[in-house]
Amino acid sequence: MRLRMTVAYDGSGYAGWQRVATGVAVQEKIEEALKRIGGQPAPIEGASRTDRGVHASGMVAGLDWKHPRMRPMDLRRALNALLPFDLRILDVRRAPKGFHARFDAKRKLYLYRIQNAPVADPLRRGVCWHVPHALDLAAMRAAAAAFVGRHDFSAVAANPGYARASMVRTVRRCEIRKRRDEILFEVEGDGFLYKMVRTMVGTLVEIGGGRRAADSVAALLASRDRRRAGKTAPAHGLCLVKVFYR
């Protein structure tokens, strides 16, 4: 039967979602546990390739499970008994035949957290980027609006080491909220390029710090030149929150 899993993980100790030549990937740990439970390989595909150190609270994975007598809720329980504590299976349910976690995804929502305070909170050091200097939220919000829409995002993407058919993506919303001493970036779109969200955040922080103009984003995107964008924000502030399907 075809199954769909919702996965959460602290990405600090992982080389990302997808299997890599060096380092341990989230996908690898889940597939090892599935093999122990089912006695044979059970490959899974994820909705997104999260980078090394990036977290997820709503990653979706699909797989074909050849043990129909085991209920989805029992598989979830068995997996969580075998997986490390920084990786949890939140939900397992039947999926339509042919469901694919990546190709059937319509939108993805990412959240980036910044602690904007003079002193870093040690209890949030693994999930927030600490920025000690003051940030102009009005300027950042005005600049974030320029990312919304269908654009070529070459200027805010890194080279992933493999060919890409297109650098054009659609960002449905890019919003900034303040919550106590945190600045929260919510970015939703139909897909994202390698390090795209983190470079958007790094550029907006430079705008908030007065290092570049709030109205410079349109020209930056038009340039398609990564050298004109801000630095890439650290991975540990980013979390894949939700994947949307039909």
* Residue in 235, 61, 57, 244 with CA at minimum distance from that of residue 158: 235
Count of CB atoms situated within 10 Å of the CB of 227: 6
Q: Which two tokens stand for residue 225?
A: 């030149």
Q: Which of 7, 2, 28, 34 is nearest to 90 (CA)?
A: 7
Nearest Cα to 84, choosing from 6, 14, 4? 14
Annotated catalytic residue 10: no
146 phi and psi, to 5 degrees? -75, -20
- Does residue 40 contact residue 66 with C-beta atoms inside 8 Å? yes
CA angle 137, 181, 7 (to 5 degrees): 100
Residue from 10, 51, 74, 225 carrying the catalytic annotation: 51
What is the longest distance spanned by two Cα atoms in the chain?
60
Q: Could you tell me whether strands 238-244 and 107-115 are parallel, antiparallel, or unpaired per DSSP bridges? A: antiparallel
Closest CA to 9 of 45, 65, 39, 53: 53
**Beta pairing partners, 92:** 5
Catalytic residues: 51
